[in-house]
Amino acid sequence: MPIPVPEPISRTIETLYRTESGRVLATLVRLLGDLDLAEEAMHEAFAVALESWPRTGVPEKPRPWLISTARFRAIDGMRRRARLDGAETDLIAHIEARNSDAPTGEDDEIEDDRLRLIFTCCHPALAPEGQVALTLREICGLTTEEIARAFLVTPATLAQRIVRAKAVIRDKAIPYQVPGFQELPARLGAVLLVVYLIFNEGYSAETTGAGLSREAIRLGRLLLDLLPEPEVMGLLGLMLLQESRRAARTSPGGDLILLEQQDRSLWNREQIAEGISLTESALRSRRFGAYTLQAAIAAVHAESSSADSTDWRQIKLLYDRLLRIHPSPVVELNRAVAVAMCEGPEQGLRLIDDLLERGHLAHYHLAHAARADLCRRLQRLPEARASYEKALALLVPDNDRQEAERRFLTRRIEELK
């Protein structure tokens, strides 16, 4: 009969899986040269730990133990299969040669392994949804079910995304390495985008997405430790500054609270201080990009005691700079709101109407909501109501993430009747 696992050891193994599985997997991918084989070996190692640690105790250095156990389990499994397939013998010899003097527990080597795995999961050859799913699965250690719940898809759909992403890595023989210096700026952009997509997915889900946002911030910290580039600082600063407002964004009943009406005493001052410090460091480098400029805008809001005391002119100037390096209709929309706040709602409304006439944001509900708000401030109430109704119609039906926005827009329409 199997030995019952004492509760303290069970908790230790669960904690190790959550905190160390990404490091263990990254090293196994380097040692074994195959993502699927490494993942299978890692799970076997944790299963062996559950079986043996109640008898032998938790090793002094559990991570090297897990890596070593997984590595030998994988090689043993390949040896058994090699009896049926002679071609696999050469592969085993190659892996054993690579493993003969390979370090399994040096922190620097393991962290380099994680950086290599991040760039592999975020390779531009993979579809964006595959990059996000694979990153959360292999780097963050989330289960397929956890990721599926976060993205409101079935576990089967999410699993297929991961399978397809792994197939691309295998079929295209994507190298398990950090890009060279000349390739790094282009490839780093893909990694940062995946991290920010994960953060936004959690942030847009209000209270239910807090875990996903925390995972993105954890990834940002990992990236900064491994690759202290200015834009990594900027992205981490941006995420911290946005996350600092989470507690004030909704009422106890789950209703949306706009930035200007939020109780700023609820903002997380520790996250704000860290976010501002990171943003200032990135700005001083003079090598910053779009994430750092967005963080600088968030920092202006964070340092203001109220909406009225916000330096909207500074925010407008930052959006001017952002538009030059990252032109986008959404950035134009945000700049128009800043113009409305510092030059009057008429000026902002003119810019938003121009955007909508060009068709860029015709199906973007936030553009119509922003237009509605400016019309409401100008007492053009029939126009405001029509724009709120247009914004409401553009929300995705039965989308739980947008429920707070749906209630907010419905309430505005009722107020204008």
Q: What is the dihedral of CA 56, 58, 62, 64, to 10 degrees?
A: -20
Instruction: Catalogue the E-assigned strands of 146-243.
Output: none
Closest CA to 35 of 139, 181, 156: 139
**Which tokens is 158 given?**
């999410």
* Spans of all domains in the chain: 7-105
Q: Digits of tens for pLDDT over the chain (417 positions)?
A: 455 778 888 889 888 887 788 889 889 988 888 888 888 999 999 999 999 999 888 999 999 999 999 998 888 877 776 655 555 555 445 445 555 444 444 555 556 787 888 888 889 899 989 998 998 888 887 888 888 877 778 899 999 999 999 999 989 988 887 777 677 777 888 899 889 988 988 887 654 567 778 888 988 998 998 889 999 999 999 999 999 999 999 888 888 899 999 999 999 999 999 999 999 999 999 999 999 999 999 999 999 999 889 999 999 999 999 999 999 999 999 999 999 999 999 999 999 999 999 988 999 999 999 999 999 999 999 999 999 999 999 987 766 678 889 999 999 999 998
Residues in the chain: 417
Q: Specify the pTM.
A: 0.78
For residue 208, report the phi and psi dihedrals to the nearest 5 degrees. Answer: -75, -15
Q: 398: which residues sit within 8 A by CB, 6+ positions away? A: none
Q: How far, in Å, are 66, 79, 296 from residue 75 at the CA level?
A: 14, 6, 51
**Which tokens is 231 given?**
């834009």
Q: How many beta carbons lie within 10 A of that of residue 25, not counting itself?
A: 26
Instruction: Catalogue the E-assigned strands of 247-344.
Output: none
Closest CA to 300 of 348, 253, 334: 334
Q: 8: which residues sit within 8 A by CB, 6+ positions away? A: none
